[in-house]
Amino acid sequence: MNIAIVTGGASGIGRAIATELVARGDTVVVADIDAPGAEKTAAKLNTLGRGRAKAAELDVTDAEAVAALYTGVRDEHGRLDLVFNNAGIAIGGLAEELTLEHWNRAIDINLKGVVHGVHAAYPIMLEQRSGHIVNTASLAGLVPMPMGIPYTATKHAVVGLSLGLRAEAAGTGVKVSVVCPGFVDTPLLKNINPGLPETPMSGDGRAEIRKQAGGFYTPERLARDIMRGVDRDQAMIVAPRIGRAAWRGMRLSPRAAVRAAAFAASRYRREHRSR
């Protein structure tokens, strides 16, 4: 039985990961800024009859709160085995449509939220010489994704952070993985630019994203991919198959990948300026 923390655990990918963990018999802290949502998710998971779940309200932009939660879980259970730094928000719009508020919110949650989780979990795991940190990035952290470059920039940073930390952690007993999913149908896509100035892409971005991606992966399938990758100690967990193909294409021909992204951006600009 593992002791795990999942941030952003009240919905989407986080909830699916927490469900997989509880189904395996693990003890999971469902952490989310949405306290009622975390409570509802934990209560539902506790009906599965295998592992158990507990809810915790957490704002990942608050470094002291993150440290207090992670240390508290370790103190209560005597160890901390798995940490999924998963909380994030979606930012959509062309660079000229975005304000510094968009940039700062993306950095605060998508990047600094992961930094706070790593900063809290890594010393604990070094001391116990065991544990696995799993950071959620995105396919946007591997390929050029326009119409949301604050999101793209932060996800590239999470990939670099994770791979660099994995190299540092080699031989310590601590494992580090980064998750790079393609387009997954989560509440993130239904709430583009939450609480921020609107852009033409604000609100439900699924229709726009479907034009680019052609379809969505389910959180449940992704969570199974993630747990398989964690069990295998994969450095990078890239899913689904179409995402791995896009990543492979980027490595084979960065110029072609940028051209494809430029075409998508041009179409977006043309369609929205004609309205």
Which residue numbers are catalytic?
151
R_g of the chain, CA atoms, integer Å:
18
